[in-house]
């Protein structure tokens, strides 16, 4: 229930009443078919969309990010935040279970089976009574608030970058969503306390890392808050007159000061309390049921039945292979002394031209370089996919999210309803953190021939749930494969240091796989994790380990997905008349899905 006494159905009542209404509505859908003794029939995509409406109503922020019709132009989904409370989590679980029972376990068309597979994967950790789980995410996240994920980050990011503000109705929806943010934060604090009561107390360092982010949110004057500044900038870009912009930003500032910042302060205090109680053991295995949850997360993020030991062995082998390749590249350039990380740092220090000027001109140069790399990749598409085209892609600077907010370039696909084009948000806030050689692998990974090509090729003729879902091994695996394709197509031929940056990223991904399993399954202490990282990459990679601790299982997707794609290609090449363009189309055109379905399509 929000501060106006309204539940997300627009009716007065409590969350528990809304939960009961959801249960009744889902149970009645399709005349109780999901609970019949006979197996459900194979539904049409439109029927799946209708049946999934109760589930998607609980995920308004995902609707905004995906660009669903009900989230654009001030639609109802754009007026709400996710319900992070225990009742909200219970409602989400109930809706997932009901939706799953509506779909046959086998025998239907591939698009239907993708949705069933999503729900099957999401229920693989249903016995775990803490954290956040859902049908669209890549893993079950055991810790609600970290420096990398949580409502203190996801909602402001969506409102700054994605949510429509192009019309008065859309701006009003943005303001309504800001109104709903305070109760959402209070619900998150309630869930954190419930998780602690269930025995899940996050590692102290994981909770502590989020405190500075929440402090910055609370202490920034409302009129200078990144949310308010972003709203003003986007309204200006839309041609809204100054007087109307002032009214909008004054309203937003008042909501922040009166409701949202106090709610964030309470979430911050809850996090601080848990930090003082936090575990010193960083392994997920230290939490109730944590060992099984980590195994389920690896299976889900990696889309694999491979044992943890075998997956870790693959990561070690890949790290050794890539490290040897980097060693040779650096030796050819006279860099033979020191660890890999030390030699790469020395090489970049010897090339000051790799660092653009720390001003708007330098940041603009990085954006122009990314555009050049994308344009070069477009020129290779005729050799990679039928038709040789990909949709337009905007390249924009990632706005500042405020002090303490972690950066990172990201890709946002085009809105499903066509209201928003695809964007690569390049993190140019620190030119020292993004030397020019690092732009190339980002462009090929997030753009073309990586994630943007994947999103451009995927058929829209799929159920909405399938279009919104994350299959991390497929998506991240293809993005990594896109970097490999760029190298094979000669896009690094005149960019040798860009290729070094690519290999360095690939090495770190393999090392992260090794360390993720080491920490969470084998209970390595932080010191051992750092030592292993140093052995594989030449540096302790503190930030990478922080993320591994906070997001157990997530780190395996890139290396395992890339390995699966390369294995499929090797098998296909062994046959007669291999056509790489047709091979790529068979992978991409049906959209992200389990690799078992990809293998069937390739066969």
pLDDT at position 404: 52
The Cα–Cα gap between 490 and 505 comes to 18
| pLDDT band per the 50, 70, 90 thresholds, residue 32 | very low
Residue 154 above 70 pLDDT? yes
The Cα–Cα gap between 599 and 154 comes to 34
| pLDDT band per the 50, 70, 90 thresholds, residue 252 | very high
CB 18, CB 7: distance < 8 Å: yes
CB 158, CB 65: distance < 8 Å: yes
| pLDDT band per the 50, 70, 90 thresholds, residue 233 | very high
pLDDT at position 10: 38
pLDDT at position 401: 67
pTM, 2 dp: 0.92
State the Rg of the chain over Cα: 24
Residue 31 above 60 pLDDT? no
**Residue 209 has which token pair?**
């890392």
| Residue 237, burial from CB neighbour count under 10 angstroms (0-12, 13-18, 19+) | exposed
pLDDT at position 407: 64
The Cα–Cα gap between 546 and 532 comes to 14
Residue 325 above 70 pLDDT? yes
Long-range contacts formed by 228-234: CB under 8 A, 24+ apart: 228/252, 228/253, 228/256, 230/159, 230/160, 230/161, 230/399, 231/159, 231/165, 231/174, 233/399, 234/165
pLDDT at position 144: 96
Please, which residues have CB within 8 angstroms of residue 241's CB and are 6 or more apart in sequence? none
| Mean pLDDT for the stretch of residues 469-473 | 92
Minimal CA–CA distance to 506: which of 323, 333, 340? 323
Q: What percent of the chain has pLDDT over 70?
A: 92
Question: HSE (CB half, 13 Å, CA atoms) of 256?
Answer: 22
| Mean pLDDT for the stretch of residues 526-530 | 98
What are the φ and ψ backbone dihedral angles of 212, each rounded to 5 degrees? -65, -35
Q: Cα–Cα–Cα angle for 446, 448, 452, nearest 5°?
A: 60
| pLDDT band per the 50, 70, 90 thresholds, residue 70 | confident
Residue 413 above 70 pLDDT? yes
pLDDT at position 455: 97
Q: Cα–Cα–Cα angle for 85, 89, 91, nearest 5°?
A: 115
Q: What percent of the chain has pLDDT over 90?
A: 82
| pLDDT band per the 50, 70, 90 thresholds, residue 109 | very high
| Mean pLDDT for the stretch of residues 311-318 | 98
Residue 599 above 70 pLDDT? yes
Residue 544 above 70 pLDDT? yes
Minimal CA–CA distance to 533: which of 353, 319, 352? 319
- Look at 215 and 34; give whichever has higher pLDDT: 215
- Look at 395 and 125; give whichever has higher pLDDT: 395
pLDDT at position 5: 36
| Mean pLDDT for the stretch of residues 101-115 | 92
| Mean pLDDT for the stretch of residues 110-116 | 93
| Mean pLDDT for the stretch of residues 143-166 | 94
CB 54, CB 96: distance < 8 Å: no
| Mean pLDDT for the stretch of residues 173-199 | 98
For 79-93, what is each residue's pLDDT tens digit?
999 999 999 999 999
pLDDT at position 523: 97
For tokens 């409701």, name the residue: 259
Residue 248 above 90 pLDDT? yes
Residue 35 above 80 pLDDT? no
Question: HSE (CB half, 13 Å, CA atoms) of 417?
Answer: 14
In sequence order, the β-bridge partners of residue 583 are: none
């Amino acid at each position: 229930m929000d501060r106006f006494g309204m539940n997300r159905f627009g009716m007065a009542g409590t969350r528990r009443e809304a939960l009961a209404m959801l249960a009744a509505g889902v149970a009645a859908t399709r005349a109780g078919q999901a609970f019949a003794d006979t197996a459900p029939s194979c539904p049409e995509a439109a029927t799946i969309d209708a049946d999934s409406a109760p589930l998607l109503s609980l995920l308004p922020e995902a609707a905004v990010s995906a660009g669903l019709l009900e989230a654009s132009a001030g639609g109802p989904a754009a007026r709400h935040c996710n319900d992070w409370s225990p009742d909200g989590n219970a409602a989400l679980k109930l809706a997932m279970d009901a939706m799953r029972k509506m779909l046959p376990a086998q025998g239907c068309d591939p698009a239907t089976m993708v949705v069933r597979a999503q729900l099957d994967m999401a229920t693989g950790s249903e016995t775990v009574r803490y954290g956040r789980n859902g049908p669209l995410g890549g893993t079950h996240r055991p810790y609600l608030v970290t420096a990398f994920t949580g409502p203190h980050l996801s909602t402001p990011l969506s409102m700054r970058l994605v949510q429509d503000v192009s019309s008065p109705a859309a701006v009003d929806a943005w303001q309504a969503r800001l109104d709903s943010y305070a109760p959402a934060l209070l619900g998150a604090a309630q869930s954190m306390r419930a998780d602690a009561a269930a025995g899940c107390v996050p590692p102290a360092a994981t909770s502590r890392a989020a405190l500075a982010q929440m402090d910055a949110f609370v202490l920034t004057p409302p009129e200078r808050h990144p949310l308010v500044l972003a709203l003003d900038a986007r309204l200006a870009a839309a041609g809204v007159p100054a007087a109307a912009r002032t009214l909008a930003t004054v309203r937003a500032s008042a909501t922040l000061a009166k409701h949202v910042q106090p709610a964030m302060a309470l979430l911050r205090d809850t996090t601080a309390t848990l930090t003082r109680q936090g575990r010193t053991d960083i392994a997920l295995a230290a939490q109730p049921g944590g060992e099984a949850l980590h195994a389920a997360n690896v299976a889900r993020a990696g889309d694999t039945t491979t044992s943890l030991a075998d997956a870790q062995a693959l990561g070690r082998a890949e790290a050794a292979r890539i490290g040897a390749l980097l060693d040779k590249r650096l030796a050819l350039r006279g860099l033979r002394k020191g660890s890999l990380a030390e030699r790469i740092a020395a090489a970049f220090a010897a090339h000051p031209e790799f660092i653009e000027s720390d001003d708007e001109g330098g940041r603009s140069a990085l954006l122009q370089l990314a555009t050049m790399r994308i344009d070069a990749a477009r020129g290779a598409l005729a050799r990679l996919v039928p038709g040789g085209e990909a949709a337009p892609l905007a390249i924009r600077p990632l706005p500042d999210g405020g002090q303490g907010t972690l950066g990172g370039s990201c890709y946002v696909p085009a809105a499903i309803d066509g209201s928003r084009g695809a964007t690569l948000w390049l993190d140019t806030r620190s030119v020292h953190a993004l030397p020019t050689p690092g732009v190339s692998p980002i462009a090929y990974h997030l753009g073309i021939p990586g994630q943007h090509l994947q999103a451009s090729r995927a058929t829209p003729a799929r159920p909405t749930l399938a279009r919104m879902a994350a299959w991390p091994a497929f998506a991240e695996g293809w993005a990594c494969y896109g970097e490999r394709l760029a190298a094979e197509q000669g896009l690094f031929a005149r960019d040798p240091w860009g290729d070094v940056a690519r290999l360095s990223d690939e090495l770190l991904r393999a090392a992260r796989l090794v360390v993720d399993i080491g920490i969470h399954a084998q209970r390595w202490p932080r010191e051992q994790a750092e030592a292993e990282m140093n052995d594989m990459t030449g540096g302790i990679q503190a930030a990478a380990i922080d993320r591994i601790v906070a997001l157990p299982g997530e780190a395996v997707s890139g290396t395992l997905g890339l390995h699966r794609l390369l294995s499929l290609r090797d098998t296909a090449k062994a046959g007669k008349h291999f056509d790489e363009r047709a091979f790529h189309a068979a992978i991409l055109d049906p959209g992200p899905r389990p690799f078992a379905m990809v293998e069937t399509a390739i066969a």
